[in-house]
Structure 1
Amino acid sequence: MGIVPESDFTSTASNTTATTDGTDIAELRRIAVHLAETAAAHVRTRRPQVFGPGTVEDEAVQSKSTPTDPVTIVDTETEALVRRLAAQLRPGDSVVGEEDGGTLTDDPEAVQWVVDPIDGTVNFVYGIPAYSVSVAAVRDGKSVAGAVADVVHEVTYSAGLGQGAHRSVFGGWGARDDSIEKPIPLRCNAVDSVAMALVATGFAYAPKRRARQGELIAELLPEIRDIRRLGSAALDLCMVAEGRVDAHYEHGLNLWDWAAGALIAAEAGAVLTLPAPTSTGAAGELVVAAAPGIAAELSVLLDRIGVTTPIPV
């Protein structure tokens, strides 16, 4: 399993540094926060309208890859909103989104916005307070700025390449009002033993992949402190950055699942293992973010029990 150092975060497929200058990254980060928070406000407003008692809209939920993999009308609305806002703010940029697609460009200078309108849709449908909006600015296959907005708690995690990672309340990034809580820098836990590590993970919708993931959990669980399954990979990665968990691993994520969260984790000191940005979830490759004190030991453990082997569908 390849490991990407904090100072060299891109992906396991590329170790070149971003060419975007610091001023551009700061502006892209500001836009990412604005897009994520505006979209999150829409999600907050729409949930009681769509899923409130006795108010479920017709065709509010449909299935995607499997019967248990939902997409809601709010997912599609929210991505459309982000696409409209991005076109207004950055008319020369394109968008790659979970619901309406798009492909990464070969132009190394082009900025693209990678969007997951609701990460944790099952939680959203059930009213479990763990779902987010994820927005990343990607250039030459590398995330250079990103934001993950925790919809329910009105908190945004954001990062710029080389500029660190922070947690802020909605409206708090760049605010000049002294009454608004200032952004809080993020740093991974100083854990130094896998045996004491709290590890987050997620499970696929495809039954065969899920069965294999269950087998791997059974092998991993005796070796660590405990497992957490939140249901939003983007929030899991931010929890690594914030020190609420010590590591996260998951098979079969798509770029929109990790583009913002992985950058936030890396800028908080995490060590990352990532597939190529063009890899699809169907390939079943592994994403790992780990606090630096356990990254090497965890890598050996995951390799020994077979977690590093892709689980394609």
Structure 2
Amino acid sequence: MTGDNELELVGLAAEIAREAGELARQRRREGVHLAATKTTLADIVTDADREVEALIRSRLADARPDDGFLGEESDAEVGRSGITWVVDPIDGTVNYAAGIPAYNVSIAAVRGTADPETWNTLAGAVFAPALGELFTAARGHGAWLDETRLQVTTDTPAGALLATGFGYDPSTHDGDIATVRRVMPIARDLRRMGAAALDLAYVAAGRLDGYFERGLKPWDFAAGALLVREAGGAVSRFDTATPRPMIIAGGLSVHARLLEILDTETR
């Protein structure tokens, strides 16, 4: 059942995403300081990631102290309300550090635990501060780019414009490239922007026809997947028992074609 709750949640997500994004952009102008690496030397975290996540967490705690929290850069917290906020403070950190404007703040509110297999996403906001674009969605209320309602593409006569990403672990690259080879027969071309939430937002906006990637974390897709669904598209995840689950998103036709090619469980 939909209601004002989803709209209140998306309003809060959008407000905080804008504030957090402006902080990220300000810190980028001042100069990026690398704080650490994560899984590999190529998988970095900046001081700004941590500062931006701390800001988001503080604002959410002030507004909704009973909610839970799951962020990329800090410990998860179980709440009492049944709502959990799933946050990527700077999605596309490598782009951010390199001065490439394809980065964003992603904030989603889900009902349930921090396990994406069990939650229902209620609201999401993806804000790209360097591009000045705010994508939002509330369950049952559509997906929006500022005041424009979004709709996925429904027809791809020249082939599908697809996006993907690759893991930071070099040992996974051959498999990811093999996956690309499998989908290229249905593709017009391929994009690789390095920010999963933006890829999903662009699918929702009809800028991309489809998206696929292995190894995303919950905060990478929580808001973006809702955008796609509320824009009339479909999102699937499979191989979830493995370290690198696959996510597929697109308009209904492209999604179905990608699923047929990539989901080995259905063949």
Shared topology, TM-score over 0.5? yes
Amino acid at match of 2:246: L
Corresponding residue pairs, total: 261
Which of the two has greater strand per residue? Answer: 2
1:125-181, Cα deviation, whole Å (9 max, x unpaired): 00011000000001121110000001211111000000000001xxxxxxxxxxxxx
Q: 1:27 to 1:275 in 2, by over 3 A?
A: farther
1:221 paired to 2:181: no
Q: Which moved more, 1:132-141 or 1:42-51?
A: 42-51
Whether the aligned pair in 2 keeps the contact of 1:216 and 1:307 (CA below 8 Å) is: no
Choose from 133, 138, 141 the match for 1:163.
Answer: 141
SS in 2 for 1:294: helix
Q: 1:308 to 1:114 in 2, by over 3 A?
A: farther
Whether the aligned pair in 1 keeps the contact of 2:67 and 2:85 (CA below 8 Å) is: yes
Q: What's the counterpart of residue 52 of structure 2?
A: 78
Choose from 248, 252, 268 the match for 2:215.
Answer: 252
Task: Flag as ranges the 4+ runs of structure 1 deviating above 3 A.
Answer: 306-309
Whether the aligned pair in 1 keeps the contact of 2:182 and 2:261 (CA below 8 Å) is: no
Whether the aligned pair in 1 keeps the contact of 2:68 and 2:77 (CA below 8 Å) is: no
RMSD of Structure 2 on Structure 1 (CA): 2.2
Choose from 155, 164, 173 the match for 1:191.
Answer: 155
Whether the aligned pair in 2 keeps the contact of 1:286 and 1:308 (CA below 8 Å) is: no
Q: What's the counterpart of residue 126 of structure 1?
A: 98
Q: 1:133 to 1:73 in 2, by over 3 A?
A: same
1:102-139, Cα deviation, whole Å (9 max, x unpaired): 1666x7x5111110000000000000110000000011
Q: Which moved more, 1:286-295 or 1:135-144?
A: 286-295
- Give 1:208 deviation, angstroms: 1.6
1:57-103, Cα deviation, whole Å (9 max, x unpaired): 5xx34211111100000000000000110011111112110000316
Choose from 258, 262, 266 the match for 1:298.
Answer: 258
1:241 paired to 2:204: yes
Bigger radius of gyration: 1
1:158-210, Cα deviation, whole Å (9 max, x unpaired): 00000000001xxxxxxxxxxxxxx10000012256x6101110110111222
SS in 2 for 1:225: strand
SS in 2 for 1:82: helix
Choose from 147, 154, 178 the match for 2:132.
Answer: 154
Q: 1:258 to 1:307 in 2, by over 3 A?
A: farther
Q: 1:241 to 1:308 in 2, by over 3 A?
A: farther
- Give 1:298 deviation, angstroms: 2.5
- Give 1:226 deviation, angstroms: 1.1
Q: 1:103 and 1:131 mapped to 2: Cα distance?
A: 25
Q: What's the counterpart of residue 137 of structure 1?
A: 109
Choose from 229, 245, 248 the match for 1:288.
Answer: 248
Q: State the percentage of identical aligned residues.
A: 39
Where in structure 2 are there 5+ consecutive unaligned residues? Answer: 113-118
Q: 1:96 to 1:308 in 2, by over 3 A?
A: farther
SS in 1 for 2:190: strand
Where in structure 1 are there 5+ consecutive unaligned residues? Answer: 1-18, 52-56, 169-182
Whether the aligned pair in 1 keeps the contact of 2:260 and 2:266 (CA below 8 Å) is: no
Q: What's the counterpart of residue 173 of structure 1?
A: none
1:96 paired to 2:70: yes
Q: What's the counterpart of residue 87 of structure 1?
A: 61
Q: 1:84 to 1:308 in 2, by over 3 A?
A: farther
